[in-house]
Each structure stands twice: as C-alpha cells, then as structure tokens.
Amino acid sequence: MAFPVLRLGDLVARVPVVQGGMGVGISLSGLASAVANQGGIGVIAGAMIGMREPDVAKNPIEANVRALRNEIRKARELSSGIIGVNIMVALTTFSQMVREAIESRVDIIFSGAGLPLDMPRHLRELCEEKKEEFKTKLVPIVSSGRAATVIAKKWLSRFGYLPDAFVVEGPKAGGHLGFKREDLADPGHALEVLVPEVVEAVKPLEDAHGRAVPVIAAGGVYTGADIRKFLDLGAAGVQMGTRFVATHECDADDRFKQSYLNAREEDVTIISSPVGMPGRALNNGFIEAAREGLKKPFKCIFHCVSTCQQEKTPYCIAQALISAMRGNLERGFAFCGENVSRVNSIVSVRELMDSLQREFDEAKNPLGKGVQNVQAGSGGADAPEEQHKAD
C-alpha cells in the first residue's frame, strides 16, 4: 500500500516525509535533491551555509545569501521534486535569506528557533517590488498548539496570510530544542501529545478559511511504524533528520556519519548551547572540556546567531559545528536526535525510503489483509500517480 501523499496547497509530495534541515553543512543540495527525487521534501539548511565562501568572515550576509542561492540552484539542477529551505529566526541574516529563498523560487521555507512573526512581509514586499507572483510556501516550526495559534493570528492580522502548514517538533529532536531543559522528559510535552494539540489548534483556521493547514510531526520519528502512528494521530506527514544523516547522499563528512554508527544510547547528551537553547548532541571530549571550564570566551568572526553572547560563551558553536561536519570531532561535536543509537548502517536515500515504506506497510497491515486508507485529504493507495508538484 502506497504512502498517503502530503499536500501543501498546489505542492504534492508522494511520500509524506520532510527531510529535516540540518545546519552547518549537513543538509545541502546533495541530500535535499536526493530526498526530493524519491518523492519526499528535501530541505537545505541555511545556518552557516556560507561557511565555504572565502569572504564569510568579512561579509557574512553576502556570503551566506550567495551560498544559499547557489545551493538552491544546484538542487534544482539535480531534481525536479520539492525543495525547501530551513532558515532559523535567530540567524542574523534571517531577513536577507528569506528574501533570497523566495526570489530563488524555493518551494517551501521552514522556520523555527524563534517565532517567525514577520516572515510573510518579505513575500508580500517582493511581490510588490518585482511586480510578479512568488509562490513559496511558508511553514513555521512550533512546539505547542499555543505557538501555532499565536503565529497564525499575527500573520492573518498583519498580512492576511494563513500559514501553509506547521511542523510541530517534539523534545526528542536533534540540535537546538524549543523546550526548557526541565521539560524535555515531561510526558506532557511528548510528540504524541503535541500532534493532536496542534491539529486541534489549526481546525478553526481551516474551517474559517476553507483550506487545509497540514501538521507535520517531527522529533524522534524513526521508522515507518512511527510514520503510521503520527498519521493516525492526525498529522499529514512527518519530518525526519537523524536517519538522513546516515545516507550516502548526506553532505557531511563520512567521519561525522561514522559517529552516528558508533553512538550508544548513553552517548546522547543535552548541552547548554551558546545560542541560549538546550541542544541534543553526542557527548565527546570537546563537550566535556566545555563543561569543565577548559574552553574560554572567543572573538566572534561569523556573527551568525543574534542570541549568542560571545563574551560569556566558552566556544563558537558555528566553528564547532563546522569542524564536526568536516569530520574533525576533536574540535567540535555532532548534533543528533534521541534515536541516534539505533543507526547501524549507511544506506542510500532510496534504500531508506524503501525501508520506511516496508515498515509502514507492516505496521498498517500486520496480517497482510487489504485495508482502506482513510487518511483524510491525503490521497491513498488507490489515488492516481501524482507528480511532486501539481500542475
């Protein structure tokens, strides 16, 4: 039985899987295009995307915007599928990168690490300035139904714009987390609780505006059975990050990927990130040295995140993550999801998608009997073959 499709307006992904945007070079055009070619939504991460540009320290805005433009172009050359970008609200280049992504006609912008209350303004201004229509979808990343409601009300009152979807990210995600440290183990914040909460929060919006606002579940989604579970809870799709790191097409160094294969459950730790949020990462000597006070405040050269207090911060998170992405884990660390210890091999994106389909089928229909797909508004096994983008 085929996956139900994921619809965001006129965009139709035949596999309801969004590849999470993993910053500082983990998900660039290589991984994003591979996911898009398999029917999912591939996502380029904007955080420190300009790290390879020669002028990134002197001209961080120009360098990061240029790199974003080039990665979108490369992804377009490699795939005709759905390509998104992830742009953190906390980035100092947020506004410029949102405008560049829209001008480059990326399909979707995902935005979290803060509330993207102003994002539709850039879309409206570009349409007015260029005297043409831009169709980029705008998707906030939230951690509660309340946050979804706040963003939707702000967008509607200020811009007359209804979010095209929401990603709801639970506390088992990798990287920076939208929760207080003490809430991470609270069952009340589990993704299984948050998804129905956000689905319920968007229902009045859907009723008032006569269109669907899909909810995409993220954070700890690992198997096809997990996909089935969250679809049954009302999600229209899922977002996955950790599993896509362990693919040949992932843009990180092989030594970074190997750290996932070597990871044990007890290696996963929560750090206090220099950007002012808790983060989930693989513990190592670098993190231990920071905790023991063996790292000292540094001179910032990247100015990448507005919330970073360099005079109090024991290390540059941008430099640490760049080092890790390049395989130098003695000088940095790898962000990861809670399920990283379950990774045991590097596979192709195609193989990963095929395995998710098999697991989904087994969870859906363990006795091997035909079951009617009842996922509302999402298509199904009997739906006609669809293109990645609807005409």
Categorise residue 219: left if φ over 0, alpha if ψ from -120 to 50, beta otherwise: left
Identify the DSSP state of 340: G
Query: What does the pLDDT profile of the chain (391 residues) look like in tens digits?
Result: 789 999 999 999 999 999 999 988 899 999 999 999 999 999 999 988 888 888 888 888 898 999 999 999 999 999 999 999 999 887 778 899 999 999 999 999 999 888 899 999 999 999 999 998 999 999 999 999 999 999 999 999 999 999 999 999 999 999 888 888 888 888 889 999 999 999 999 999 999 999 999 999 999 999 999 999 999 999 999 999 999 999 999 999 999 999 999 999 999 999 987 777 889 999 999 999 988 876 665 555 555 555 556 666 766 777 788 888 898 899 989 999 999 999 999 999 999 999 999 999 999 665 544 443 333 334 333 333 344 444 3
Look at residue 216 and give its three-state secondary structure.
strand
Residue extents of the structural domains in the chain: 6-253+344-364, 255-342
Q: So what CATH class is 6-253+344-364?
A: alpha beta
Look at residue 343 and give its three-state secondary structure.
coil
Closest CA to 166 of 205, 214, 121, 206: 214
